[in-house]
Structure 1
Amino acid sequence: MGVKKELHRRHIALDDRCSGCGIEVESIAHALFECSNVQQVWNSFDLNDIIADSPHHAPFTEWLLWMNTRVGRDDLRSILTIVWAVWFCRNKHVFAREELDMRYIAAGFLRMVREHCLYTKMVVQSPALARQSCVTKWKCPLPGTIKINVDAHVGVGVAGGLGPVARDNAGKILWAATRRIPVNWSVELAEAAAIRFGCKMARRMGHSMVRIESDALSVTSKIGKD
């Protein structure tokens, strides 16, 4: 992480003052947990006590291991999501001169992560979308063929998205694309649309030998029967 304490030590930054408060030395611990601007975020989610007790002056990996032994999986996910939001806002301030409401951004990130977890749960538990648990490693297609992996995200009350990624037989990414979809599409419909989108993109890019890979077993089995 490019905090000013380290950048100043390397003679890249003119000073080591915090980019947020402008008072304290900007270490990783200060930028993520101690700055007055950041403490408002932790206070707003009732997490300041656990953050204060944590060894945040230790290397980040040690802090993460410590936190993993003190909180449950859901709380750890929330804490790391807020860390992500804090660093995102810090970078926007430093590099784009954008002043974002850190609490609002953190709440949005938390909502996005919860929606992703809910979507994953829907896919895993839905009999219509049973996943192929035996697939543990991406396999290269035959020479002259490209493989397109597709996936879909269904938002809860918000628009979702489709995403195909194409790779050659060496595993090199050739192209990727995204497309928004309307609110409240079913998971199965979204997965089918992702496959269709991947096929249309392949045709647009001039590919004739294509292999489509999706984790929506019910959708791919229906395509195979048709």
Structure 2
Amino acid sequence: MSHEGEPEIMTHALWSCPKLATVWIPQFAKLKDATSSLSAFIEIVHLAQQDPSCVEVFANIISLLWMRRNRASRGEECSILEKIPEQAGNLVQEFQHICPTHSKIPRTAQAVQWRPPPPPPGVVKVNFNGAIFSTQSSVGLGMIIRDQAGLVLAVLSQKIPMPTSVKTVEVMAARRALLLARELGFERVMIEGDFEVIIKVIKEKTLLSSDLGHILQDIHALSCSFSSISFHHIKRMGNCVTHRLA
């Protein structure tokens, strides 16, 4: 998405490229004006976070633009730029519908909401999930990476042929989540999934001789490429975004 030879640094690819005017101007014209002299993308993110009413849409637009850029680099069909703000708004509405956060929610529901990763600094949380489409003989894999401020750093949805079991779907989703984190260069990760049996299997390194063995071995090999990694179970309500992605 570079323009007239301008190097495609992150700020240009996701914010300042003239082609993105139709994406940002409708809702973020003031932010565009306020950041016209900024070159560091993280500074733009910090300014966007000062407006709680728009930060979720902002984060989802960034995520959609990044996915579109990756598809374009692979020569795949891309979404229309003008439709991205609407798509981002729909994602926010879906999330708020499935995972509401207002005070009327019972305490039991609040206890299973997604929570940012704890210190030390630099840790990101990677959530994953799988969904089966039996009528299409396929499954969906969904994953999302967020930082300690809750900002979305990456999302991925992938459709693959249906494997032999539900357990295989979840293990494949876990492996793809680790691959995504490694591809993006994250070093310190927390991995969360809502299939407790699979999280236990990964942590205890059991079932390596089963039909899941080769995938589990991949997961353990990938785990060694991070400076720190941990696996955690979360109830489905706290993992609802990845369920929608899958």
Q: Greater RCO between the two (CA within 8 Å, min separation 6)?
A: 2
Interval of TM-score (by shorter of Structure 1 and Structure 2): 0.3 to 0.5
Q: TM-score, normalised by structure 1?
A: 0.46
The structure with the larger Rg is 1
